[in-house]
A and B are shown apart, each in its own frame.
Chain A
Amino acid sequence: MEYPFWDIPLVGGGMLIGIIAILHVFVSHFAIGAGLFLVLTERKARREGDTALLDYLKRHSTFFILVVLVFGAVSGVGIWWAIGLVHPTATSALIHIFVWAWAIEWVFFVIELLAAFIYYYGWNRLDARTHETIGWIYFAGAWLSLFMINGILTFMLSTGKWPETRSIVDAFFNPTMLPSLVVRTAVTIALAGLYALITASAEADESLREKVVKYASKWVLVGMTIIPIGGIWYISRIPDQAREISMGGAPVVTLFAAASIIFSAFVFLATLLGPFLFPRRFHVTFAFVIVALGLITTGVTEWVREAVRKPYIIYNYMYSNAIRAEDTQKVWEQGVLGSAKWALLTEEDKRNPLAMGEKVFRFSCQSCHTVNGFNGIKFAVKGWEKDFLDMQIQKLDQLKGYMPPFLGNEEERKALVEWLYSLNNPPQQTAARP
């Protein structure tokens, strides 16, 4: 409302963020777990005097920097880019509340990146002890940057006491911060194993392949065992309404939540029955199947986490359409267009309910709905008469718990009804304009 709204037809902004974010999550969690995987495996290889394993690790670390330093880092900035474009008001809020938390995360990120380069270029240059120390520094930097970002991310769903106290400590150490940290740390361990299955299965030496495949599969199994334990703790700490949405309140979300559990189970079973029990028969295609299952699990889980936050973008503080909960009364009185300067409402618009209704849609609804595409409103209101539309809009938050109350005044509501009705019942060409 305070910022111009970027109109993305068909896809909508949420989907755009989702695509970038899911890919980033899948790589960035690997980035962290791989740090632990590399340094622990390096120690194991040196203790056992296993030169072949050490050579594998060097190859694995090339794969690691190409995935992590390039895609991981750039896609992470990409999320920031995308949320700033799609949700500038919410991004601004997160930036202002957490400036120093972001700045601290940046310090850890700098350490992480430089350590990654020095670890990689240092394989044949540094002595064993220094090299392992650099590996530990990398892992510490990476995990601490997760620690920081996790506090900010969980705040969006569980603001806890912050709306009353406005204290950064309450915001960061919010109710889901710790359980989410446990889940995400477990994900990093599972993903470290999952990615290692790819590089291990591509190894030519059969005995080495078997050894590393078996070893990597244990990482996946350990991670995948901790995830549900942390997950139950996490679900017990999210706001009641969010839990209800995921457990029947909104059928699509419930379906995705179920899919998240089912696909997690697939990853576990595929790893157990494949690389863990029969490492000798494991091959690259199988590795990619498990990775694909892992990506789907990540995708649906992150999608559910985003979906249950509705009707808010920052819980109990800002609705999905960037209007602050505390401004609700003001918006009801002044209207959304009276508050949204970027609507650039003209005198002509005010005389034309269809033009006005479209602008109301843009600033009150379009952050979640497109017209014709994803979550398309035209399809959703098909067959609805004007009276029914008006009643639905008036009781939006009561009929659909995952939607905010309609944020606009009476004149705007009527204009919105006219515009929504016109989507499926185009006005006659001959009808004279008032």
Chain B
Amino acid sequence: MPVVVPPPDPAGLPAPAWLLQILLVFTFILHVLAMNLLLGGSVVLALSTWRAKHSEFCAKLSQRLSRALPVAMSLTITLGIAPLLFVQVLYGQAFYTASVLMAWFWLSVILLVLLAYYGLYLVQFRPEWLGAKAGVVAWISALFILAVGLLFTHNATLSISPAKWAEMYAASASGLHLNWSEPTLIPRYLHFVVAAFAVTGLGLMLLATGYRKTDAEWSAEATRYGLRWFVGATVLQFAVGLWFLVKLPQGVMMNFLGMNMVDTVVLWAGVVLAVLALLVAQRSAIGATVLVALTITLMAVTRHRVRQMFLGEHLNVNTLPVNPQWAMFVIFAVLLVIGLAVVGWMVWQFFKASQPQQSTTA
């Protein structure tokens, strides 16, 4: 079978490839941060809601977490839109093709997200009729979110495997393919899931600080609980990450083991920062969060490099035609700054008014 790659869009890139790549990776990092809190948080919510009857700590955790998760879901979706836009601009030839091959599964993401989202709201509002079934609903939401993650890994790995496309499409055009044959599929997926648990652990520690004054005992226990998630997941990650690394094709893997110095430094600096985060986590949740955010940044760059290496010359974004729209870009950039200021102002107003007012009708 020949390797068939769709031709680039004749409209060309609306900005140089380097700028679009920066935007792609940067917005992807924001999306991943929110996604980590959602994915890990939904599992912790399921666990705590399930055990709410037997433990007061879990009951409170379930209640407090359930208020944050719909927001995490909304942020995950919203912050996912930007990288999805830029990936279609730069890598549409690969993204659309892989998506069509797994079309029904890819479309099911929408339904799974919708149901998981409503499930999270159901657990938050916890109407009386729900009763003990809240735990079941929370688990369903968590499993759906985990499934969505797996479908994204299928899409991401299939998108960077052009050699598989023609054979798959010749076998069936019904959009029922998945990428199970990919050796990196499972380690790559677990790499993301385990990272999500680690970040959620930090998120729980930060959540706990919000209750330090009002509920000191719970706050202390939640801090220990979050720390356990963070440390456990991060230690496990060293094994999972190594597994992922050795499953990469030889030519790709070697770039991260000294053949390409920049790639090697970026990856291993990320690992070192994660080790440092482990060391400071007990003393400072914020310090660990900053270090982990840096790790995620370096890992997102590494992920982008893996994509470039897999695609090679089948799809090299630096060779795509460029037809820049600078005026539009400037408008976007200005509006982005204004938008962030507006969002910042609103969030500040919200947290400034920390005490709920007795009545708004005064």
Contact = CB atoms under 8 A, between A and B. Distances in A.
Contacts of B166: 344
Contacts of A95: 9, 85, 88-89, 92
Nearest to B20: A99
B346 A118 contact: yes
Contacts of A46: 361
Contacts of A101: 328
Given A113-B74, A362-B173, A103 B82 contact: yes
A117 B339 contact: no
B92 A85 contact: no
24 contacts: A4-B101, A4-B169, A66-B118, A69-B70, A70-B118, A70-B121, A73-B78, A77-B113, A80-B84, A84-B99, A88-B97, A96-B13, A99-B328, A100-B329, A102-B85, A107-B339, A110-B339, A113-B74, A124-B356, A124-B360, A125-B356, A126-B353, A134-B349, A168-B328
Interface in A1-21: 2-9, 16, 20
Classify the interface of chain A: helix, strand, loop or mixed.
helix
B356 A6 contact: no
Contacts of B101: 4
Interface in B79-123: 79-82, 84-85, 88-89, 92, 95-97, 99-101, 103, 106-107, 109-110, 113-114, 117-118, 121
Nearest to B358: A124
Contacts of B107: 16, 81-82, 85
Given A88-B92, A100-B325, 5 more contacts: A9-B174, A92-B88, A93-B11, A107-B339, A341-B6
A178 B347 CA distance: 34
Interface string A9-38: 100000010001000000000000000000
Interface string A328-352: 0000000000000110100000000
A108 to B, nearest CB: 7
Interface in B164-210: 165-166, 169-170, 173-175
A85 B107 CA distance: 8
Q: Which 6 residue pairs spanning A and B have beta carbons closest together? A: A100-B328, A88-B96, A96-B11, A7-B173, A78-B110, A107-B339
B332 interface: yes
A109 B100 CA distance: 27
B69 to A, nearest CB: 12
B325 A99 contact: yes
B227 to A, nearest CB: 28
B9 A96 contact: yes
Contacts of B106: 81, 85
A96 B87 CA distance: 11
Nearest to B122: A66
Interface string A98-141: 01111110111111011101100111111110110010010000
A91 interface: yes
Given A77-B110, A82-B107, A362-B173, A126 B339 contact: no
A104 B349 contact: no
B251 interface: no
Interface in A129-174: 130-131, 134, 137, 168
Interface string B322-334: 0001001101100
Contacts of A130: 349, 353
Contacts of B12: 96
A71 interface: yes
Given A109-B78, A114-B347, A125-B357, A99 B85 contact: yes
A97 interface: yes
Interface of A: 2-9, 16, 20, 45-46, 49, 51, 54, 66, 69-71, 73-75, 77-78, 80-82, 84-85, 88, 91-93, 95-97, 99-104, 106-111, 113-115, 117-118, 121-128, 130-131, 134, 137, 168, 324, 341-342, 344, 362
B100 A6 contact: yes
A314 B70 CA distance: 37
B114 A4 contact: no
A117 B73 CA distance: 12
A107 B332 contact: yes
B350 A73 contact: no
A100 B6 contact: no
A106 B89 contact: no
B14 to A, nearest CB: 4
Given A70-B114, A73-B74, A4 B97 contact: yes
A82 B71 CA distance: 25
A99 B15 CA distance: 9
Interface size class of B (residues with CB under 8 A): 35 or more
A128 B361 CA distance: 8
A213 B95 CA distance: 48
Contacts of A127: 353, 357, 360
Interface in B330-362: 331-332, 335-336, 339, 342-343, 346-347, 349-350, 353, 355-357, 359-362
A176 to B, nearest CB: 21
Contacts of B335: 104, 107-108
Contacts of B131: none
A101 to B, nearest CB: 7
Contacts of A128: 360, 362
Contact of A85 (B1, B82, B175, B329): B175
A321 B118 CA distance: 37
B361 A54 contact: yes
B92 A92 contact: yes
A270 B106 CA distance: 41
Contacts of A85: 96, 99-100, 103, 106-107, 175
Nearest to A134: B346
Contact of B331 (A92, A100, A134): A100
Contacts of B331: 100, 104
Contacts of A4: 97, 100-101, 165, 169, 173
Nearest to B338: A107
B258 to A, nearest CB: 38
Given A2-B6, A7-B175, A121 B350 contact: yes
Nearest to B336: A107
Contacts of A341: 4, 6
Contacts of B349: 118, 122, 126, 130, 134
A6 B357 CA distance: 55
Contacts of A104: 331-332, 335
A425 to B, nearest CB: 25
Contacts of B77: 73-74, 77
Contacts of B9: 92-93, 95-96
A397 to B, nearest CB: 23
Contacts of B78: 73, 106, 109-110, 113
Contacts of A20: 110
A42 B84 CA distance: 37
B71 A117 contact: yes
Contacts of B356: 124-125
A69 B120 CA distance: 13
A214 B174 CA distance: 51
Contact of B346 (A75, A77, A114): A114
A62 B110 CA distance: 22
